[in-house]
Structure 1
Amino acid sequence: MTDRTAPAAPPVPVSPAPARGRSRGESPVGTLDTALPALIGFTDGKDATMWARIRATQLQAGRGLAVFMFAANALGAAMAVMLFAPFAPLIQVVGWGIATALVAAGVALRRLRSHHREDGYARLADIRSTVWEGAALAALWSVPWLLIGAVPAGTIAGFGLVLAILMTGAAYAMAPLMLATMAFLGGITVAAASALTLVGAYAAAGGAACFALLLGAICASRAKSLVALRAAEIALEERDETVSLLLREFEETDADWLWETDTARRVIKASPRFALACGLDPVTIDGMPFLQVLAGPAWESGNFAAGLRLLAEKLKARESFRDVRLPVTVAGVERWWELSASPRFDDRGQFCGFRGVGSDVTEQRASADKINRMARYDTLTGLPNRLHVNETLARAMAEADRWGGRCAFMMIDLDRFKAVNDTLGHPIGDRLLSRVSERLGQLMGKGEMCGRLGGDEFAVVVTDANDPNIVEALARRIIETLSQPYEVDQHTLYIGASVGLAVAPRDGRTAEMLIRSADLALYRSKDKGGGVFHAYEPQLHVRAEERRVLEMALRKALEKNEMHLAYQPVVDADSGRLTGFEALLRWESPEFGNVSPAKFIPLAEEARLIGPIGEWVMRTACLEAARWPDDIRVAVNVSPDQLQNPGFVTTVTSALAGSGLSAGRLELEVTESVFMHEGLGAIKTLERVLDLGIRLSLDDFGTGYSSLGYLSRTRFSSIKIDRSFVQAAAKGVREAVAIISAVVALAKSLGMATTAEGVETEAEHRMIQDFGCTKVQGYYFGRPLPVEEARELANRRMQAAA
């Protein structure tokens, strides 16, 4: 406790943080949500922390009255047994009375065993669990109403009086546990009103209901009053505790003290608190030069801190100063002080010295240093973070520019790291990143610093890059070292690294430009398959700029009607009969001309434009196919990125509904890369599409991530053989012949059709027939056609068939 005779503490510029849901300056009572749901226990109100303490008080109140409620129930049960014994089987009546007493005893024991204290915290679930206590007692007290037709009215009246007294006592005494009390009152009232209604005592039933409503109102009012009272007590406790903490902190920490000097800047009227902070006694410190007291052992050597020099200048100029920080050695330990002061003048305006206040801010400085470290170092790996890397790079570039030298910047991206996260989880991935950071740190020499930019991206700053061979050798060592296997939690992990290198000032005269150049070089390394380093070249920037401009044009291509669909015929391999078309997206840009799909489709996926573009393709293709004969299908290519969109199935169903095309005439073509997105729900999306009756084709089988397991588990209707195999087989390449034969045999065994792509000559067509492919697609049967020609071809086939 703080001595009440102690002088009042000066204002403290730190106020305790308000409780959650409470604004500064408001009391808990003023903002506490005392609506009925919160009082009963359905919700926690606005301030969950406050309600947790109130819940504990409610449970404590229930525990304090547990014995009383047990006695009331036991006594009431005994009186009810005496009332009903002459009119019902004795064993049943006594059994009911014993059961009621036992349940009441169980409820009392359960409440007595509650571990919550009045000043503790309780969960909402603890309050909700009490509803079963009230419900159990209500169920037992409802049983005697079954005898309403077999006993005299006087007995029923007596029993009703017993219940009325019991219910009134519960409503008043057990109001804090409002949920249990309401369950008790409500259960008994429903039973009584129902029984009285069945025997025609409508007035009595209505009276019972009104009586119960009155008791409920009393219970709610009393509960609200108790909650408000407890909230006020908590508010007072918090204020008392805050004041006590502030006073105790001021008295015990000795963090603030007054100091005063004369005209010669010597200490006068040294307070005990100031002397204690300096590690001296008041007699010794009185008359000492103020700067000597602060300088300590450095007074003789003259090696003063910058803060002390600033303070000396302020004292010499007789200027006010504020929050001047400087290190002070006290008993051999370095402390940090913060000083503020103003000059003093007498009645005649003559300078008399300085008077000020000092604070020990060592802890605050340590906290600031810790925060500064957290702001500049990665918490997972301990390496410098992006901010620190950028600052180091900027300093290195400034030094290089000053001395006419060079510095280098490397961006490092881990290869195959995402597979580790996806298969083994993020905790393993985090530990792997820590191992990577350890290896990187061991590679760093003098003038080299590595850091983590975020995710699986790292960076290296080389302050002296005048010898390019040394820098390139470091890049190779980084790739070689990071590609060695890792042992993490009994897992042997294999990853790699790709590096992009940029040298200043050749590749950039600012930190931002150099990072951009290194990023472009890294992008080139990833394009090469990873596991290599690539130095920046001016052409990379040109390509990146072209890509940026192309992306801007692509974003407006749909709204400018620059895109259209071409339709390539798909025919039966044996008869040559037209069976359908594959819808192929084309982009004719006024600025770039006819842009290849191989160029703009990957760009659309990377820029997240494939969603709206794919939706337009789906709707347009379905609308056009609805004009064709009913036995001609349309095939639409679908990107794996589209399948990750939760609204993809809705898009497909909307396109079918809007066009009137039957689901069986739509075929979706997906590549094997879709299996790489299984964890993102792509396969489940395909299953939902198949359930609609839509056909599914696996495109470019054998060129990517082939998996026979997926073929057997996913209901593909056909497999498309890539044109590269067809052309190679036509040239007699044995591997291609074997692959096509195997694919056709596999498809037949799984009940799937096969479509050969890229058939351009009659010889290739005969070869495909010999292999047993069911459908053919290629220039031999038709190039991708404009919509009008495709429609005309479909209608001609229909007329020929007729």
Structure 2
Amino acid sequence: MTKPDSRTDLPRDISAMALLGFASPGGMEAVQLEEIQARSIRDRSTVQLATNLFCAMMIAAISFGSAPIWAISGWIAMLLGFNILWFTVLRSKEISEKRRATRREFLDMGRDSAISGVIWGSALPFLGSFGAMPQWLGIWSVTLAMMVYASMIMPSLPIAATAFISLASLGGFAGWVYHGEYYLALANAALGTLMIFGVLRSAKAQVLYELASNVLHEKSETVSLLLREFEDSGADWLWQTDTARCVTHTSPRFAYALESDPKAIEGQPLLKLIAGDAWETGRYPEELHELAERLKRRESFSNLIVPVTIRGKRHWWELSASPRQSENGAFLGFRGVGSDVTEQRESAEKISHLARFDTLTGLPNRLQLTEALGQALADADQWRRRCGFMMIDLDRFKAVNDTLGHPVGDRLLAQVAKRLKMIMSENELCGRLGGDEFAVVLKDAADANYVAGVARNIIETLSKPYEVDQNTLYIGASVGSAIGPVDGRTVELLMRSADLALYRSKEDGGNVHHSYQHKLHANAEERRVLEFELRNALDSNQFYLEYQPVVDANGEHAIAGFEALLRWNNPKFGMVSPAKFIPVAEDARLIVPIGNWVLRQACADAMKWPEGIKVAVNVSVDQLTSQGFVESVVQALHDTGLPAWRLELEVTESIFVRDGGLAVQVLDRLRKLGIKLSLDDFGTGYSSLGYLSNIRFDTIKVDRSFVIGAAKGKAECIAIIRAVVAMADALDIATTAEGVENENELAMIQQFGCDKIQGYYFGRPMAFLDACALFQASVPSRSVA
């Protein structure tokens, strides 16, 4: 069946240059545009000649008595002479009778309109020069009417309309300038410009409308043609059997569907023709059994989908039939219709597969896992046994995505899926929940050691190195498991229990397995309540700051500044440890508003200390990389009046691992503002000298664990502190030792050459008023301990 050619793609826009004929129209052929514009020429010549004659008489009436007869007669003769000549030439070319005109003829139309525009534009400066303001306004009004006429009568031929309006408007502009009426000259120019824009918009709308009408007409013709062809050649075929269920009166289409000759099919049993090798073995598919039963019982059937084997290839047919009867009611066989629905069936199977399997890994998806877990719970309840559910989260997978890109991450997930399938037995079904989360349904999980063994096998298998695009990748796996119906009698509860166990494994650093315990639910509930209370803490003024002094390492240990430490006094929980509520605030995305409050409060408190005393504020990863963080810091400094050099922002190395590029940009902007930067806990995390080369820090803080280790004589800790101090001195960076609590540690830190010291030996975190009192006392700073 041939498909008629039709232009169904409509252009979204047509440029003004294309409408004027100076550029090729995008999204359509130039022929189409010429056909549409040519139709606007019909009957326009007569109307234009009559309009010019009428308006010329009006000009003559207005000018009579003020302008000389020779001037009026000369102007009218010039106008009518040109229009009569134009009308005669146009009629001789018979453009109005054509379907389309040439581009040269369109340009000639523009030229003629331009000449007419010059004549009309000369009326005001020429005839108006003999009269006064009333005559000027009258002549201008008639000229303006001609411009409006051109914009309305010739919108689909914009080259002619714009040429006439432009030159007529230019003549009016010159006339008003000549008469000293500059405001009217500007008004004349503005009206002409608006008319030209209106012409172009109207032309564009009319062309698009004509195109849409043409396309709609072509589509209607196409639908009619398709309907006629479908009536002549249907896709279904007829089939017929006798009382013995053998094929009779074979139609050519039925034989074609069986890829055989009609004579070879005649008299063959219908089931034999469509069953293939199953005819000899008698092992029919269930659908063919149903067809055989319907034929045997002589029952009508409709839209019955059956598998058909033709030359060893599987097809799917849709069959409908009714029994035939003679005039006296005797059974004669079946007559029905059939169609090949193999493509539809395969498409339906693909859709079903996509709905139940993950497209990236080929593993069962969340829907199928949920169904399998529901069936496992039902079986466990019926047979009084236990089932299990495991949730698996890949460790360090986000770093792969962030550093090597998502395509590499996707290929890594595919390899993880292959490894999981390889270690699964008939008792386990693994699938992907989404992202880097996988799950395993254990049909029988009565043995706790068996569950632990499966989890251990998963962790060991997934922790082996991967080769992806010539990259050797190392990741791990955290596993949480729950046993049903003990840990949950429904799918939702059991999955939640496994998720809580997985969360515990992630908290322990990953690459471990934890089974669900009831206290995990209590912890999760406490965390939920804690988050709820945390959301009201700011508005209820439950937060306050304590300050721990930082002193110079040399001399009399004068106070150099304070580190601001957040505290939370909740009416329900009492004093809550920062180690407990800070992670909750980060997970709940509350750390940014809380951090901004800390920043503003610390700056305000620091203004009440003597000049030169700095305040250090810890900044989280989420806060640093949040939108508008630099602006919030600037606003806090501006509102409190604190100089930028008195504010020190402390960050940890984790910011560079999570979003290093953005972090470097933000820190660089802050440092350019004069704000001091401090790298906290250096050496305990993802230490890399590359961070120090990317951003200029003012201070490096030596973690308390190294100070304690060095005090105990650990050579590694001593070497690390010395290396950090030497490197900082070479880079002109100050060092602060944390956790100094006694005289021995103080002497050791001074020996190593640290610039500043912070610890209980010089003062515990204290309230703001107590910090202010330190500057009023005249005793050595050692007394603050």
Aligned equivalent of 2:764, options 780, 783, 789: 783
Q: Percent identity among equivalent residues?
A: 56
Partner SS state of residue 783, structure 1: coil
How much has 1:504 moved relative to structure 2? 3.0
Given residue 619 of structure 1, which amino acid in structure 2 is its aligned partner?
Answer: R
Whole-Å separation in 2 of the counterparts to 1:789 and 1:319: 97
Which residue does 1:104 correspond to in 2?
none
1:643 paired to 2:614: no
Whole-Å separation in 1 of the counterparts to 2:309 and 2:712: 88
Alignment of 1:558-707 (within 5 A): 558-573=538-553, 574-679=555-660, 681-707=662-688
Given residue 498 of structure 2, which amino acid in structure 1 is its aligned partner?
Answer: A
Given residue 28 of structure 2, which amino acid in structure 1 is its aligned partner?
Answer: T
Aligned partners of 2:616 and 2:648 also within 8 Å: yes
Partner SS state of residue 665, structure 2: helix
Which residue does 2:488 correspond to in 1?
508
Given residue 760 of structure 1, which amino acid in structure 2 is its aligned partner?
Answer: E
Aligned partners of 2:15 and 2:25 also within 8 Å: no
Whole-Å separation in 1 of the counterparts to 2:229 and 2:707: 87
Whole-Å separation in 1 of the counterparts to 2:279 and 2:318: 19
Partner SS state of residue 394, structure 1: helix
Whole-Å separation in 2 of the counterparts to 1:41 and 1:694: 55
Alignment of 1:399-798 (within 5 A): 399-573=379-553, 574-679=555-660, 681-794=662-775
Cα deviations by residue, 1:312-347 (Å, 9 ceiling, x for unpaired): 9999999998755454667876554556799999xx
Which residue does 1:40 correspond to in 2?
15
Whole-Å separation in 1 of the counterparts to 2:257 and 2:271: 15
How much has 1:668 moved relative to structure 2? 0.8
Which residue does 2:210 correspond to in 1?
229
Whole-Å separation in 2 of the counterparts to 1:544 and 1:210: 73
Whole-Å separation in 2 of the counterparts to 1:264 and 1:710: 87
Whole-Å separation in 2 of the counterparts to 1:591 and 1:212: 73
Whole-Å separation in 2 of the counterparts to 1:386 and 1:657: 52
Instruction: Tell which structure's C-alpha radius of gyration is larger.
Output: 2
Distance 1:718 1:298, change over 3 A: closer
Given residue 532 of structure 2, which amino acid in structure 1 is its aligned partner?
Answer: M
Whole-Å separation in 1 of the counterparts to 2:737 and 2:157: 76
Whole-Å separation in 2 of the counterparts to 1:229 and 1:443: 66
Partner SS state of residue 679, structure 2: strand
How much has 1:41 moved relative to structure 2? 6.8
User: Which deviates further from its counterpart, 500-509 or 426-435?
Assistant: 500-509
Whole-Å separation in 1 of the counterparts to 2:294 and 2:629: 71
Cα deviations by residue, 1:362-419 (Å, 9 ceiling, x for unpaired): 3222111101111122222222222222222222333333333333333222222222
User: Which deviates further from its counterpart, 262-271 or 694-703?
Assistant: 262-271
Alignment of 1:21-36 (within 5 A): none
Aligned partners of 2:274 and 2:310 also within 8 Å: no
Which residue does 1:55 correspond to in 2?
26
Distance 1:600 1:308, change over 3 A: same
Which residue does 1:368 correspond to in 2?
348
Cα deviations by residue, 1:44-102 (Å, 9 ceiling, x for unpaired): xxxxxxxxx972324567999xxxxxxxxxxxxxxxxxxxxxxxxxxxxxxxxxxxxxx
Whole-Å separation in 2 of the counterparts to 1:659 and 1:499: 49
Partner SS state of residue 55, structure 1: coil
1:387 paired to 2:367: yes
Which residue does 1:107 correspond to in 2?
none
Given residue 657 of structure 1, which amino acid in structure 2 is its aligned partner?
Answer: H
Partner SS state of residue 56, structure 1: coil
Partner SS state of residue 27, structure 2: helix
Distance 1:610 1:798, change over 3 A: farther
Whole-Å separation in 2 of the counterparts to 1:355 and 1:627: 101
User: Which deviates further from its counterpart, 447-456 or 580-589?
Assistant: 447-456
Distance 1:566 1:362, change over 3 A: same
Partner SS state of residue 472, structure 2: strand
Given residue 772 of structure 2, which amino acid in structure 1 is its aligned partner?
Answer: R
Alignment of 1:111-510 (within 5 A): 221-245=202-226, 248=229, 254-256=234-236, 325-327=305-307, 335-338=315-318, 360-510=340-490
User: Which deviates further from its counterpart, 567-576 or 286-295?
Assistant: 286-295
Partner SS state of residue 681, structure 1: helix
Distance 1:211 1:758, change over 3 A: closer
Aligned partners of 2:318 and 2:341 also within 8 Å: yes
TM-score under structure 1 length normalisation: 0.67
Distance 1:746 1:294, change over 3 A: closer
Given residue 358 of structure 2, which amino acid in structure 1 is its aligned partner?
Answer: D
Whole-Å separation in 2 of the counterparts to 1:696 and 1:530: 32
How many residue pairs match? The answer is: 657
How much has 1:219 moved relative to structure 2? 6.1
Whole-Å separation in 2 of the counterparts to 1:383 and 1:464: 20
Distance 1:661 1:332, change over 3 A: same
How much has 1:272 moved relative to structure 2? 7.9
Aligned partners of 2:742 and 2:761 also within 8 Å: yes
Distance 1:733 1:327, change over 3 A: closer
Distance 1:495 1:300, change over 3 A: closer
Partner SS state of residue 510, structure 2: coil
Q: Specify every segment of 5 or more residues in structure 1 that has no aligned partner in the other structure, as ranges.
A: 5-18, 21-27, 44-52, 65-133, 135-170, 346-350
Whole-Å separation in 2 of the counterparts to 1:501 and 1:328: 46
Whole-Å separation in 2 of the counterparts to 1:799 and 1:530: 48
Whole-Å separation in 2 of the counterparts to 1:575 and 1:744: 21
Given residue 576 of structure 1, which amino acid in structure 2 is its aligned partner?
Answer: H
Aligned partners of 1:259 and 1:357 also within 8 Å: yes
Aligned partners of 1:500 and 1:523 also within 8 Å: yes
Aligned partners of 1:189 and 1:212 also within 8 Å: no
User: Which deviates further from its counterpart, 398-407 or 355-364?
Assistant: 355-364
Partner SS state of residue 385, structure 2: coil
| RMSD (CA atoms) | 5.3
How much has 1:692 moved relative to structure 2? 1.6
Aligned partners of 1:629 and 1:798 also within 8 Å: no
How much has 1:700 moved relative to structure 2? 1.5
Cα deviations by residue, 1:126-166 (Å, 9 ceiling, x for unpaired): xxxxxxxx9xxxxxxxxxxxxxxxxxxxxxxxxxxxxxxxx
Partner SS state of residue 556, structure 1: helix
Aligned partners of 2:276 and 2:312 also within 8 Å: no
Whole-Å separation in 1 of the counterparts to 2:744 and 2:526: 42
Partner SS state of residue 608, structure 1: coil
Aligned partners of 2:480 and 2:499 also within 8 Å: yes
Partner SS state of residue 586, structure 2: helix
Distance 1:222 1:672, change over 3 A: closer
Whole-Å separation in 2 of the counterparts to 1:212 and 1:422: 55
How much has 1:472 moved relative to structure 2? 3.5
How much has 1:798 moved relative to structure 2? 13
Aligned partners of 1:409 and 1:461 also within 8 Å: yes
Distance 1:295 1:382, change over 3 A: closer
Distance 1:292 1:656, change over 3 A: same
How much has 1:761 moved relative to structure 2? 2.7
Distance 1:735 1:282, change over 3 A: closer
